Amino acid sequence: MGFASIGTDTGGSIRQPAAYCGITGLKPTYGRNSRFGIIAMASSLDCPGPFARSAEDVAIIQEIIGGHDPLDSTTVPNKIFSAENITKNLKLKTKNHSLNLKTFKIGLPKEYFAKGLDSRIAGKIDEAKKVLEKLGAKFVEISLPMTDYGLACYYIIQPAEVSSNLARYDGIKYGFSADKLKTSFSTTLEAGNEKLKTLVDYYNFNRAQGFGAEAKRRIMMGTYVLSAGYYDKYYKKAMKVRTLVIEDFKKAYEKVDAILTPTTPTMPFKFGDKVKDPVQMYLEDIYTVTANIAGIPGVSIPCGYVENPKSEVLNSKKITNPSVGEAGHKSQITYLPIGMQILGPQFGEEIILSIAHQYQQETDWHMKSCNI
């Protein structure tokens, strides 16, 4: 098994899988890590970041991969990240006090704990809150009113950028090519009942074969919102909402040092369960997209397990005693992991990872292993 892995987070694609798998996943500040070499999907939202078992391991990888890259103009110079500060957190200063969680304020946004959140997730978040309170953290309720518009904003901006970025994949210079099917454009390829007679036919065939259903859906959505008749109505308004989301977080961080939320609104679901309903899949992003919109860092860490009522082994873990964290293979009861998300201000990775590390020193949810 690997020590760690690296993924990209455009709207939650590091934090949500981490939550569903019971591991730690970091979405860094936009510009912290280079995107050079990564196929661009949504250039203003994409963030590469690490997965690992613990916050400490994630910090080690982040220190290695972070920093300015002259091949990516969006990376920010002179923003140093130190993994040592995560484990020796008393060295880190924020708002004139050391980050040992005492007198430390963590915000609980009321919009993230509203109707629609699974009660089992809410219960485990509350238990995690009590652990952090014992370590000295103080919790205050805050409001992030633009949260309600975050998902709609994201699903306008993201498809628009997808449509633009993926336009280059014509099968000639970039992307899937019909030649890989051992066919030849020059000999006229049969595509259903139609023949490829023009260059446009060839482009269309390559894109139809090379893109999956979800990629096609987002390209179509993005093309629509960028079209002349709807650019002002949708895209420009979404960009204005994005500014308001950023302001929401700026105001919040004037009052608190970090924000604690659920990572997902629902429990892990069976593979393929929600694929047929794109709207249900999009709703899973409700707690993660605003961090990408605002460009702030977020980390998801495991904060508990609950019994799977369907007792399905797929995507679950077998634990003999989940209350004390003893992993085993004898129990026939399966448990599903729950993740909580810690959000910080821009370039506040040391803050959120230090909180995560201190929580993981008091609990061992992150040490549980899958029964494979």
**For position 371, what pLDDT does the model report?**
53
What percentage of the chain reaches a pLDDT higher than 70?
84
119 touches 88 (CB < 8 A): no
Question: If you average pLDDT over residues 8-22, what whole number do you get?
Answer: 97
Residue 317: CA atoms inside 13 Å, Cβ hemisphere, count?
26
Lowest mean pLDDT among 187-196, 237-246, 304-313, 350-359: 187-196
Chain centre to alpha carbon of residue 192: 39
Question: Which is more confident, 218 or 181?
Answer: 218
pLDDT at 300 over 50: yes
**For position 206, what pLDDT does the model report?**
86
d(Cα 345, Cα 348) in Å, to the nearest integer?
5
Segment holding 11, helix H or strand E: none
**For position 104, what pLDDT does the model report?**
84
User: How sure is the predictor about 200, in pLDDT bands with cuts at 50, 70 and 90?
Assistant: confident
d(Cα 140, Cα 57) in Å, to the nearest integer?
29
Question: If you average pLDDT over residues 26-54, what whole number do you get?
Answer: 96
Question: Which is more confident, 353 or 329?
Answer: 353
What confidence tens digit (pLDDT) does each residue in 217-244 have? 999 999 999 999 899 999 999 999 999 9
DSSP 308-349: -TT---TT-EEEEETTTTEE-SS---EEEEEEEEEE-STT-H
Question: If you average pLDDT over residues 341-365, what whole number do you get?
Answer: 94
Which sequence spans correspond to the domains of the chain?
A: 4-144+256-367
**For position 93, what pLDDT does the model report?**
45
**For position 332, what pLDDT does the model report?**
63
**For position 224, what pLDDT does the model report?**
96
Domain boundaries 4-144+256-367, CATH class:
alpha beta
What percentage of the chain reaches a pLDDT higher than 90?
66
Question: Which is more confident, 134 or 97?
Answer: 134
- Owner of token pair 């020059």: 186
**For position 202, what pLDDT does the model report?**
82
User: How sure is the predictor about 203, in pLDDT bands with cuts at 50, 70 and 90?
Assistant: confident
What confidence tens digit (pLDDT) does each residue in 59-111 have? 999 999 999 999 999 999 877 777 777 766 544 444 444 567 877 899 999 99
**For position 312, what pLDDT does the model report?**
47
Residue type, 21: C
User: How sure is the predictor about 7, in pLDDT bands with cuts at 50, 70 and 90?
Assistant: very high
d(Cα 148, Cα 159) in Å, to the nearest integer?
19
Helical H runs in the chain? 15-21, 55-65, 84-87, 119-134, 147-165, 199-210, 213-226, 237-252, 278-283, 289-294, 349-362
